[in-house]
Homo-oligomer: A and B are copies of this chain.
Amino acid sequence: MSNANFKTWLHEIIFGTEPGPGRNFDIFLIVVILSSVAALFVDSVASIHQRYGDFLFGIEVFFTILFTLEYGARIYCSPNRRAYIFSFYGLIDLLATIPTYLSIFIPGAQHLLVIRVFRVLRVFRVFKLFHYMSEANVLLRSLLASRRKISVFLVSVLTVIVVFGALMYLIEGPENGFTSLPRSMYWAIVTVTTVGYGDIAPHTPLGQLVAAMAMITSYAIIAIPTGILSAELIQESQRMITNRQCVNCAKFGHDKEANYCKHCGEKMPPPQ
């Protein structure tokens, strides 16, 4: 097999998602990623670390060598190496290997090992594998389409949080746990998102009244992002937006009955 042929063959296996070697490789990879993350989880429990720490470190070194080989192979068979290295997945793939090497050479870098957990982000490749990309894209497109509304919502929420935080700092004061404005804001976020740890809670009657008002406000607030996204998802499904693409401006988002591109006015090819 020639060098170029070998590269193409390797590329198909590593980057491909078609049934056959490409798919098998991806399934194997996801099993390996999840196993290595599981090992990290188990190793972080103090009692297990004391008894099986050395064994788990051996497993970790084995996984790291595997990931290093994979990373090398990905760079080797990429048609555009620079693009892969600086892509989102390229950086995550690199992050999957370096912490282990650093912990060997730099003694104080023990706690850097937790970064290896971000390997879990590589699991998103699973969507590509099972042809779930279109569902993921619908959700992403809906989120993107409503990004302006969500920005307005977030700015409003943060303002509400600052105002309620400042009010409670004024009313409750340091003697009731609201020791500073940042801490009051932390309380406000915990309350408005309805998490409600209870580590900081109002003690004065006036503080409880203002807190109650913040909670009632949070009701209206929760309704807003849900409403925005519901409206967007319904529009998405009603417009029956297909995969039709304009031949002139290459944009998507055309419905079944469109004869002309709504973005540039070009004649659309008939729907398949």
Tell which of B163, B216, B234, B254 touches A118, judged by Cβ atoms closer than 8 Å.
B163
Whether A190 sits at the interface, judged by CB under 8 Å, is: yes
Whether A56 sits at the interface, judged by CB under 8 Å, is: no
Distance to closest chain B CB from A190 (angstroms): 7
Interface of A is mostly: helix
Would A260 and B259 be within 8 Å (CB), given that A114-B169, A152-B136 are in contact?
no
Q: Are A220 and B225 in contact (CB under 8 A)?
A: yes
Q: Are B201 and A201 in contact (CB under 8 A)?
A: no
Q: Are B45 and A159 in contact (CB under 8 A)?
A: no
Whether A10 sits at the interface, judged by CB under 8 Å, is: no
Q: Are B235 and A229 in contact (CB under 8 A)?
A: no
Q: List 21 A-B contacts (CB under 8 A).
A: A40-B181, A41-B185, A44-B169, A45-B181, A114-B169, A132-B148, A139-B149, A154-B216, A182-B208, A185-B212, A189-B215, A191-B195, A193-B215, A222-B222, A227-B229, A230-B230, A235-B237, A258-B262, A260-B261, A260-B263, A262-B262
